[in-house]
Amino acid sequence: MFSVIPRGTKFFDLFEAAATVMIRTAEAYAELGRDYGRREEIIHRIRQYEHDGDEVTHQTLDTLDKTFITPFDREDIQKLMVQMDDVVDEIDAAAKRLVLYRIDAPTPWLVKQTEVLVKASTLIGQALPKLRNLKKPGPVHEYLVEIHHLENVGDDTNHAAVADLYNHSKDPIHAMKWKEIYDITERAIDTCEDVANTIEGIILKNT
């Protein structure tokens, strides 16, 4: 497993390390949709990423406790890290349910959700380095707008997926299982939008 905490790292390195974990977790979840026969291996990898995310978050909070001067508000640093870790936690929770509920194969709706999640996570990874120079953050707005758009796409996909379940599933237990998986995945997408809102707020307060 890759090292997520380089020596001597500070907050910006930790932000980007957390984003790397988030992106890799989202990519693994999408891989699960494409190659479900390898689900045990992929889900094991997702669980490891979840541990990596916790490690980065704890390192950040520990650094925060020991740092007198921070690049921006302590509350925003904590919020940003916790939100990115929450994305990873939601993906891990959804992946676990695929095993727990003995899901035979992913649906096209779940595959689409995972694709949206990868795009949103990747955009966060592209936006975060802009925080290194808050006086001249560069063209970060376009990334944030696209993340908001993807959250809307995620909402539409989730609604369509649930409607499809209720219209075509003859097994209510099966429908309940899938609705839970869809909803957890949608929460991960929603949390990506929360991260985008936090980044936007940090930039507005510091430029």
CA 184/CA 136 separation, integer angstroms: 36
Tokens of 151: 């959250």
CA 151/CA 193 separation, integer angstroms: 6
pLDDT digits over 74-125, tens only? 999 999 999 999 999 999 999 999 999 999 999 999 999 999 999 999 999 9
Q: What is the largest CA-CA distance in the chain?
A: 60
The amino acid that residue 13 corresponds to is D
Mean pLDDT of the 140-162 span: 95
Would you state the pLDDT for residue 173?
93
Q: Is residue 45 over pLDDT 70? A: yes
CB atoms within 10 A of CB 45: 20
133: confidence class by pLDDT, cuts 50, 70, 90:
confident
CB atoms within 10 A of CB 71: 16
Task: Find out whether 16 and 128 touch, Cβ atoms under 8 Å.
Answer: yes
Helices (H), the chain: 11-34, 39-66, 74-100, 108-127, 141-168, 172-206
Would you state the pLDDT for residue 2?
43
Mean pLDDT of the 60-78 span: 90
Task: Find out whether 156 and 112 touch, Cβ atoms under 8 Å.
Answer: no
Q: Is residue 206 over pLDDT 70? A: yes
137: confidence class by pLDDT, cuts 50, 70, 90:
low
pLDDT digits over 154-177, tens only? 999 999 999 999 998 888 999 999
- Which among 101, 118, 97, 89 is positioned nearest to 29, based on CA atoms? 118
Q: Distance from CA of residue 142 to its chain's centroid?
A: 19
Would you state the pLDDT for residue 8?
39
Q: Is residue 195 over pLDDT 50? A: yes
Alpha-carbon dihedral of residues 113, 193, 16, 70, nearest 10 degrees?
A: -160
Q: Is residue 5 over pLDDT 70? A: no
- Which among 98, 85, 75, 118 is positioned nearest to 191, based on CA atoms? 85
Mean per-residue pLDDT over the chain, rounded: 92
pLDDT digits over 19-34, tens only? 999 999 999 999 999 9
Would you state the pLDDT for residue 68?
83
The pTM of the whole model exceeds 0.85 = yes
- Which among 184, 157, 87 is positioned nearest to 128, based on CA atoms? 87
Alpha carbon of 12 to those of 15, 32, 41, 128, 196: distances in Å?
Answer: 5, 30, 31, 8, 16
186: confidence class by pLDDT, cuts 50, 70, 90:
very high
Domain annotation for the chain: domains and CATH numbers: 11-206 (1.20.58.220)
**If DSSP codes are grouped into helix, strand and coil, which group holds residue 107?**
coil
CA 117/CA 58 separation, integer angstroms: 24
- Tell which wins on pLDDT, 109 or 66: 109
